[in-house]
Amino acid sequence: MTAARNCVLTGALLALLAGCGNGSGDETDSGPLGALAGAVAQTVAARRAPETPAAPPKSAQEAAAEALRVNPGPLIQVGFEQLGRTQVMAMTGQNGALRTYMTPAEEALILRGGMLVGTRGLGHDLSVAEPRTEALIRAGGSGNGQRTMRYFSGDGLERPLQFDCSVGPGPTAGITIESCAGHGTSFQNNYLVQGGQIAVSRQWIGPNLGYVTIQTLRP
């Protein structure tokens, strides 16, 4: 399957997940961020060149294909629904099962096998997520569990919020849904799991940042 076809499937899967619902490596110019930043710089320079008609903005599928071409490392494509933007993130560090993916602007998601466990540089960041439902989700099972979400407050301290969650199959085959409620709010995470890894998902970061869709472009 070609990269272009993968990108088309990516868009379809992300749309499907959104329909189910009701955030240290080499960071030098030769590293993953350098490759992404270089591609961005070339695009900006081309748009600013005199007597050159402005090119239309790239679609999410075109951006993913370009990122796959210029960057040989692990990549994800993320869509911040509340912020209204989609972008590619490159892996910049790994600590055991935890991977940090970052944009050239140093906005980062921290994932464990596709499960969102933290964000950095976005504002109102998720310090750490502790989902006790994770084993059920990866197994495609059903059951109940708690999820603790810790957020950075203005004084630099972590404020934990605990939610009661239920896990079960979604209306679409292969999709697992995690429904959580607590503290006067509720949210629903959707996961497509392949071989125990979360390949595509729609996950809630928090009340200020809302949902993010995450697609593995290159594991």
Top pLDDT among 33 and 205 is at: 205
> What strand order describes the sheet that includes 197-206?
115-120, 108-112, 98-102, 85-95, 75-80, 210-218, 197-206, 185-194, 175-182, 158-169, 143-152, 126-131
pLDDT for residue 159 is more than 50: yes
**Predicted pLDDT of residue 51:** 56
Distance, in Å, from the CA atom of 111 to the CA atom of 213, rounded to the nearest integer, reads 13
Helical H runs in 22-105?
A: 32-48, 60-70
* Residue of 72, 6, 38, 33 lying closest to 217 (CA atoms): 6
The predicted pLDDT at position 17 comes to 67
Q: In residues, how long is the chain? A: 219
pLDDT of 46: 46
Q: Which residue has the higher pLDDT, 93 or 28?
A: 93
How far, in Å, CA of 89 to CA of 64, rounded? Answer: 10
Could you give the number of structural domains in the chain? 1
pLDDT (average), residues 160-174: 96
Amino acid code (one letter) for 116: L
Which has more pLDDT, 14 or 214? Answer: 214
- The 3 state secondary structure assigned to 115-183 is EEEEEECCCCCEEEEEECCHHHHHHCCCEEEEEEEEEECCCCCEEEEEEEEEEEECCCCCEEEEEEEEC
Other Cβ atoms closer than 10 A to 162: 14
**Local confidence band at 198 (pLDDT 50, 70, 90 cut-offs):** very high
Cα separation of 42 and 198, whole Å? 33
- Quick one: average pLDDT of 91-100? 97
Mean pLDDT in residue range 156-173: 94
Residue 158 has pLDDT above 50, yes or no: yes
| Torsion from C-alpha of 131, 6, 61, 31, nearest 10 degrees | 70
Q: What percent of the chain has pLDDT over 70?
A: 75
Residue 152 has pLDDT above 90, yes or no: no
> What is the average per-residue pLDDT within 209-217?
97
Note the pLDDT of residue 130.
98
Q: What is the CATH number of the domain that holds 19?
A: 2.40.360.10
What mean pLDDT is reported for the chain? 84
List pLDDT tens digits, range 22-77.
534 444 444 566 555 555 455 445 444 455 566 677 788 888 888 888 888 999 99
Per-residue pLDDT, 36: 59
**At residue 194, does pLDDT exceed 60?**
yes
Alpha carbon 27 to chain centroid, angstroms? 19
Query: Domain range spanning residue 142?
Result: 3-218
What pLDDT is attached to residue 50? 54
Cα–Cα dist 68/206, whole Å? 29
Q: Helix, strand, or coil here: 52? A: coil
Task: State the pLDDT at residue 202.
Answer: 98
